[in-house]
Chains A and B, each alone.
Chain A
Amino acid sequence: MATDVLTVRQVSKTFLPNIIALESASLNVRAGEVHCLLGANGAGKSTLLKIIAGAFRPTDGTLLLDGEPVELHSPAQAARLGISMIYQELDLVPQLTVEQNLFLGHAPGRFGLINHGERREKAAAALKRVGAHFKPDARVETLSVANQQLTAIARSLTMDAKIIIMDEPSASLNETELESVFKVIRELVRQGVAILYVSHRLGELREIGDRVTVLRGGRTIETFDVKSTGDGALVEAIIGKQRSLIERKTREPVTGDVALRVNRLRGPEGLDISGLDVRWGEVVGLTGLNGSGRTSFLKSLFGANRFDGDIKLEGKPFHPRHPAHAIRSGIGLVPENRKTEGLILHAPIYKNATLPSMRESWLTRHSRQKQKTAPVLKSLSTKYGRPEQAVVQLSGGNQQKVVLAKWIINGARVLLLDEPSRGLDIGAKADLYNLVDRLAREGAAVIVASSELDELYAACDTIWVFHEGRNIGKYDPSVADRDTILRATILGENHVQH
């Protein structure tokens, strides 16, 4: 029986004031195994990883390394103890050579002088262990993503890692590249290294994993043996039986004409959407895992991405090449990140709200801008002091309303909302979806992308599942089973209804 390298014993993490990210999570990773970590968005995976890697300190509970309790104060200390984390965005310095990267921060030598010969030797040895075919003096930026991944793994080896944590390594790799990374993982495991592998793709897990621990709502649900467990049991553990916190709106059947019809849209990162349309008065939800193409789809419709395709807006061909073009056609986008894309944070509320509609004249009329802003913000029940206030002073929910107000003031009739509820508390979320409901009743065509299926379930007339850049299934939430949709989201299986 293999020994446990790492034991996580009833670890909890609470963020002030009262957000419980992790509650009594436990798992054990054995030497020479690939231990997978599965869970939906927000299940607590990254919090747990960060605690193991020493980036967060747990509120409660203990970590045992080789059976000994340890207290981790920093990632550097964790690395010294043999815990190595490979982030999804590989933390390599692209301009430096492979060799320099491998020994960044722990180069062999003394008195600040680097022993180049020794470093070259050790680098070659580490690269050989990961089966790399590139030279230690190659610059990292010239390598393929897969080879960069190998470099990151080799870097863990130079630190004598006993356990290597890999956070969704497959996100940026194609299949053959992934296969070469898997080969290395298998070889390392054979040598006794433990791997903690995070992914939400079940297929990968089947291929590489020995055991899998499922997290849900901050708790570790169960640890399964991969070979003897079916997909059904795993999906069940991921989804759970918990019900939506937001009440489903009673929505009238949509009778409006088709507002926007996407016959075909091919865009960046393998985006390939076909046969998706939205009617006036309809709320269409897009769900899918991270990287499923929701954001680039919405950005393409808004003219912020280059794409090929055949789109009709009110029956007329529509191909926006610039956001200004889409805006003139009556489209508005509430972007994924309101702080970096949606708002000019230190600018006043009324200027943010009237930014897209200012082009009407040469001169700014500040009092008119304020007049236009006030009733719209009021109708969105935005809480704010004065219109001259900087938007940064508002709470997240009210900031999001200012972004929405931009498009309402500009008379947009097609609204694209990308993760509109991100970072909002439950009350503000409900508030936001009430608005979405109202805007649709008033005749707007709305597309909402969200990774929180519950929200879409409550608010949408139609839900599309996106998977790896394609729209694979269309569901009517009034009849479709929530778990069926979740299953399609995770497994990428096609169950088109109607």
Chain B
Amino acid sequence: MSNTETAVPPADTPAFGKRLVDLAIEYNFIVIFLAVVVIATSLSSNFLTFTNIANLFQQAAVVGVVAIGMTFVILTGNIDLSVGSVVALCGMLVAVLMSHGFDPFVAVAITALVGTACGAGMGAISALAQVPSFIVTLAGLVSFRGITYLMTDGVPVSGLPQGFASISSTMIPLLPGFSLSSMGLIFIVLCIVAGLVLRFTVFGEYVFATGGNPEAARLSGLPTRFMITAVFAVSGFMAALGGILLTSRLRIGQPTAAQGLELDAIAAVVLGGTSLFGGRGGVLGTFFAVMLLQVLRNIFNLLGLGSFYQMTVTGIIIVAAILLNRFIDHRKGRG
């Protein structure tokens, strides 16, 4: 047989120290997150308290849930710009349904279905008509916001049943002295579920394959069009959940809510190391990035710096993180 074959890198079992460094590079978002936490702790004694941590999760939950869905979409190499509008649409829909006397359970179920359908519809258009998802979901961003206003002529809906608020704000004791609001817990549980789906199901594997090389995936017999429809359905479902949680927390259906939320979600996904070109990344990174952005906001609030500073610094950090990831990719020779 061949002996002119180029040598293959040998099966390496590198030293413990080197492996630690490799891990730190691979999971750099965790390292950055921990660094920011250390800084935050040193800046304010109020930071690392149970109450503050519970608050962080509560505040991060809506963006976080939406960002999980966005991770699926971006892993296939697509983008979903409509999520902010779908959050508002679903947040309003659930409120309107309840104000028309629907049982909260039924209202939530219908809303979740509508959100899923919104996503699936956009995904199907993008996949079947071969239109970039950027355009389809941009249209969604505009139209769904329009529908949201049309529902009540732009008037917020209040007077929601008491039980509905408990979806988001029931405090669940996890440790002695530490309890988390239900919406924070929902975010964490959904992260774990999404992580398991991506890692241990064929569906998850197909998501990565479709994003990694759509043509190779198609020629391997994968239903790539269905996959694209499906990830947008997931994103729509997550946005619906985000809308339900938001309305539950605010106790009011607010048609102007969640403006620009799609950008926060995209920023978190990309900051968490998921490649915008698809095929690489995961929900663990998204989780830490969502929390990192929340901690940053928290620090600024604790320091009494206004939102103008927050916006400026957040942007800089996102660019820095992307450059870091490019650098790592380059170093690994997959630039």
Query: Would you call B216 and A385 a contact (CB within 8 A)?
Result: no
Chain A residues near B217: list those with CB within 8 A: 344, 355
Chain B minimum-CB-distance residue to A302 = B219
Whole-angstrom CA separation of A333 from B216 in the bound complex: 11
Give CA–CA (A395, B217) in the complex, Å.
21
Instruction: List B contacts of A362 (CB < 8 A).
Output: 201-203
**B9 proximal to A (CB < 8 A):** yes
Tell me whether A351 is interfacial, beta carbon within 8 Å. Answer: yes
A364→B1 contact, CB < 8 A: no
Tell which of A102-110, A224-232, A280-288, A426-434 binds the partner.
A426-434
Task: Check B12 against A385 for contact (C-beta < 8 Å).
Answer: yes
Scan residues 301-318 of chain A and give those whose CB is less than 8 A from a CB of chain B: 302, 304
- Chain B residues with CB under 8 Å of A359's CB are 202, 221
Please state if A428 and B219 are interface contacts (CB–CB under 8 Å): no
Q: Separation in Å of the B2 CB from the closest CB of chain A?
A: 4
- Contact mask for chain A residues 343-376; partner B; CB cutoff 8 A; 1 contact, 0 none: 1111100010001101101111000000000000
Is the Cβ of B216 less than 8 Å from the Cβ of A342? yes
Q: How far is the CA of A427 from the CA of B6 in the complex (A)?
A: 10
- Tell me if A244 is interfacial: C-beta within 8 Å of chain B: no
Is the C-beta of A162 less than 8 angstroms from some C-beta in chain B?
Answer: no
B10 interface hit (Cβ, 8 Å): yes
Is B205 at the interface (CB under 8 A from chain A)? yes
Are B280's CB and A346's CB within 8 A?
yes
A385 to chain B, nearest CB (A): 4
Is B334 engaged at the interface, CB distance under 8 Å to the other chain? yes
Which of A343, A384, A431 sits near B2, CB closer than 8 Å?
A431
B208 touches A355 (CB 8 A): no
Chain A contacts for B130, CB-based, 8 A: none
Q: Which residues of A contact B204 (CB under 8 A)?
A: 364
A258 interfacial contact with B, CB 8 Å: no
The distance from the CB of B205 to the nearest CB of chain A, in whole angstroms, is 5
Q: How far is the CB of A433 from chain B (nearest CB, A)?
A: 11
> Is B200 an interface residue, CB under 8 A from the partner?
yes
B291 to chain A, nearest CB (A): 27
Question: Do residues B5 and A397 form an inter-chain contact, with CB atoms below 8 A?
Answer: yes
Interface residues of A in 324-344 (CB under 8 A from B): 324, 326-328, 333, 335, 340-344
CB < 8 Å neighbour of A344 from B3, B10, B202, B212: B212
A332–chain B nearest beta-carbon distance, Å: 9
Task: Check B5 against A344 for contact (C-beta < 8 Å).
Answer: no
Residue in chain A with minimal CB distance to B199: A364
Residues of A near B333 (CB, < 8 A) are 392
Q: Which residue of chain B has the shortest Cβ distance to A335 in the bound complex? A: B219
Contact of A383 with B by CB under 8 A:
yes
Q: Are B5 and A428 in contact (CB under 8 A)?
A: yes
Q: Does A483 contact B (CB under 8 A)?
A: no
The answer to whether B4 and A345 have CB atoms under 8 Å apart is: no
Bound complex: CA A278 to CA B8 (Å)? 36
Contact A358 B5 (CB under 8 A): no
Interface string of A410-429 (1 = CB under 8 A from B): 00000000000000011110
How many cross-chain pairs have Cβ atoms below 8 Å apart between A and B? 120
Contact A363 B202 (CB under 8 A): yes
Chain B contact residues: helix, strand, loop or mixed: loop
In contact, B220 and A356 (Cβ under 8 angstroms): yes
Q: Is the CB of A394 within 8 A of B8?
A: yes
Contact among B3, B213, B219 for A427, CB-based, below 8 A: B3
Do A364 and B219 touch across chains, with their CB atoms under 8 A apart? no
Residues of chain A within 8 A (CB-CB) of B213 are 340-341, 343-345
Tell me if B37 counts as interface (CB < 8 A to partner A).
no
Of B9, B200, B213, B219, chain A has the most CB atoms within 10 Å of the CB of: B219
Contacts of B12 in A (CB 8 A): 385
CB <8 Å contact, A341 and B9: no
Check B11 against A385 for contact (C-beta < 8 Å).
Answer: yes
The answer to whether A427 and B2 touch across the interface, beta carbons within 8 angstroms, is yes
Q: Which residues of B contact A385 (CB under 8 A)?
A: 8-12
Residues of B within 8 A of A322 (CB): 221
Q: Mark out the residues of chain A between 387 and 409 whose CB falls within 8 Å of any chain B CB in the assembled complex.
A: 389-390, 392-398, 406
Q: Judge if B19 is at the interface, Cβ distance under 8 Å.
A: no
User: Taking each of A347, A386, A392, A397, which has the highest tally of chain B beta carbons within 10 Å of its own beta carbon?
Assistant: A347
User: Contact string, B185-220, partner A, CB cutoff 8 A, digits 1/0?
Assistant: 000000000000001111111101100110111111
* Chain A residue with Cβ nearest B333: A392
Say yes or no: B205 contacts A351, CB within 8 Å.
yes
B91 within 8 A of partner (CB): no
With CB as the reference atom, state the residue of chain B lying closest to A381: B1
A345 vs B332: C-alpha distance in the bound complex, in angstroms?
13
Q: A327-B221, A356-B220, A395-B5 are in contact. Are A363 and B10 (CB under 8 A)?
A: no
Interface: A61 (CB within 8 A): no
Contact of B209 among A355, A361, A390 (CB under 8 A): A355
**Chain A 109-134 near chain B by CB (<8 Å), digits 1 or 0:** 00000000000000000000000000
A323 touching B221 in the complex, CB below 8 Å, given contacts A346-B212, A347-B209, A362-B201: yes
Check A364–B2 contact: CB distance below 8 A: no
- Residue ID in chain A nearest B211 by CB atoms: A344
Could you say which of B9, B206, B221, B279 has the most chain A C-beta atoms within 10 Å of its C-beta? B221
Q: In the complex, what residues of B have CB within 8 A of residue A363's CB? A: 200-202
In the complex, whether B110 has a CB less than 8 A from a CB of chain A is: no
**Cβ-closest chain B residue relative to A392:** B334
Residue B318 at the chain A interface, CB threshold 8 Å: no
Q: Report if B321 contacts A (CB, 8 A).
A: no
Cβ A364 vs Cβ B202 within 8 A: yes
Q: Is the CB of B219 within 8 A of A398?
A: no
Interface centre among A345, A364, A406 (most CB of B within 10 A): A364
Docked Cα-Cα span, A127 to B311, in Å, equals 55
Tell me if A398 and B216 are in contact (CB < 8 A). Answer: no
Q: Which of B248-285 contact A (CB under 8 A)?
A: 279-280
Cβ–Cβ contact B280 & A393, under 8 A = no
Bound together, the chains give a CA A416 to CA B5 distance in angstroms of: 24
**Contact between A324 and B221 (Cβ–Cβ < 8 Å)?**
yes
Contact A358 B205 (CB under 8 A): yes
Instruction: Kindly state whether residue B222 has any CB partner on chain A within 8 Å.
Output: yes
- In contact, A383 and B209 (Cβ under 8 angstroms): no
CB-contact partner of A324 in B203, B209, B222, under 8 A: B222
Residues of B within 8 A of A324 (CB): 221-223
Contact A393 B218 (CB under 8 A): no
B3 (CB) vs chain A CBs: closest residue: A427
Which B residues lie within 8 Å of A340 (CB)? 213, 215-216
Shortest Cβ distance from residue B100 to the other chain A in the assembled complex, whole angstroms: 39
> Given the complex of chains A and B, what is the CA–CA distance between A323 and B9 in angstroms?
34
State how many angstroms separate the Cβ of A431 from the closest Cβ of chain B.
4
The 3 A-B residue pairs with the shortest CB-CB distance, nearest first, are A427-B4, A427-B2, A344-B212
What are 8 A-to-B residue pairs whose CB atoms are below 8 Å?
A323-B219, A327-B221, A344-B212, A344-B279, A351-B205, A355-B209, A355-B222, A362-B202
Given contacts A395-B8, A396-B6, A427-B1, 17 further A-B contacts (CB under 8 A): A323-B219, A323-B221, A324-B223, A340-B213, A341-B213, A345-B212, A347-B208, A351-B209, A355-B216, A355-B220, A364-B205, A383-B8, A385-B8, A392-B334, A397-B2, A397-B5, A398-B5
A residues neighboring B (CB under 8 Å) = 302, 304, 322-324, 326-328, 333, 335, 340-347, 351, 355-356, 358-359, 361-364, 381, 383-386, 389-390, 392-398, 406, 425-428, 430-431, 434
